[in-house]
Structure 1
C-alpha cells in the first residue's frame, strides 16, 4: 500500500512527465490561430502554406525515430530534458522569426520536440509507475495532450481578444499586428516549467537496472513503494530484462542457423 508521501511523489513525477504531453497538445493546436496571419504577413502561396502546416510532422517523425535508441543509451530523463529544450528553443525562435525559411526551421524543431515527448514521456511514466496504477497514470499523459489543446485554443482566443479590443494595450504595443508571435511564445512558459521541474524527477528504475545500477534502481523504487514492494518490483524488473535479453539471443541464434542452412 502506498503511503501518502509516496503517492504525492508519484503524482508529482507523473504530472511533470505529462507536461511533455501538454506541450505536444499545445504545439499542435496553437497553429490553428496563426496560420492566417502568418500566411498574410509572409504572402504564402498555397504550397508554402501547406508546407508550413505539415513541416512539424517531418520533425515529429525524426524525433520518434531517434528518441527511443537515444533514451536507451543515455537515459529517459536526459531525453526528456532534450525535449524540453527543443520546445523552449522552438517557441522563442519561432516567435521572433523574420522570414519564411526560419519559421519552417523552428516548426521542424518543434515537431522534433513533439516526437521525442510523444515517445519518451509515456514510456517513462510506464516504467516509473507501480503495476497496479500503470494504466491510469499512462492515460494521464493522454489527458495532458487534451488539456494542452484546450489551453492553446483559449490562449489564442484571449490574446486576440485583448489586442483587438484595446489597441493601446501593452500586448498590442509589443506585438503590433503580430498577435501570432505571442500566441506561439506562450508555449515557452510551460516549456521552461517542464525543463526546471525535470530536475526533481528520478531516472527510470528499469533503465538503471539495464545499466547494471541495481542500488540506484532500488533507491528510486523505494520512493514510490514500501521497502517490501520495492524489492519485489526490483526482482520483477530484473526477471523481465533477463527474459528480454534471452529472447533476443534465442532469436539471433535461430536466425544464424537459418542463414547457415
Structure 2
C-alpha cells in the first residue's frame, strides 16, 4: 500500500511538473520523463493487481476461518454430548446388578438361549442384530456382556459378543446362526469353533493316523479359549481329514 501511494505521488508530481516545464527541458529529457511516467503507471497497475489478488486471498482466508470456527464449535458440542453420554453410562455401569459368569454358566446360557436360530436377513438382521440381541438377552439373564465390532479392512467387518468370565477370562461368542466360540487375534485370521466342540481334553494328533486303530492318547489344552487353541484345532481338523 505504501508503494502504491509513493508511486501515485511521483506520478502527480510529474504531471504537475510537465506542463510548467515543457519549454524548459530538452526533447531527450522530456522523453526520459515520459518513460519514467509510463513505468510508474505500469508499476501502479501491477500493484493494483497484486492488491486485488491479496484482497481475494484475504477474503478466502476469512471464509475458511469462519468455516473452521463453525466446525470447531460443532465438534466441541459433539464432544460435550459424548462426554455426557459416557459419564451417564459409567454411572449406570457402577449401579448395575449384572455379574460376570463362570464358563459353565455361560455355556449353560448359550445352550438355553435361541438367538442363533433367528433368521439371518442381510441389511435387516445380520451379525449386528445377532450380537445386540444376545447382549440384551444376557443382560436380562443377569449376565454382563459386551458388543464387539471387528474391522477386517476397508468397509468389511463383523459383530460378536465377549464375556469376561470369572474363571476363564475373556471369551468371545459369535452367535450368528450358530452357537460358536470366536477366536480373535490382531493380525491373524478370524476363527470360530462350534460351542459343543470346544473341549479342554481331546485326542492327541501328534502321531500317524494309522495309530488310531490302537489305543488312543489324549492331551489337555491349558486354555481352550486362546488363539493358540484355535490354531491347534485347525491342525487337528486337517489331521482327521
Is the strand fraction higher in 1 or 2? 2
Relative contact order: is structure 1 or structure 2 higher (C-alpha 8 Å, sep ≥ 6)? 1
Structure number with the higher helix fraction is 1
* TM-score normalised over the length of structure 2: 0.23
Question: Bigger radius of gyration, 1 or 2?
Answer: 2
Length-normalised TM-score, structure 1 = 0.21
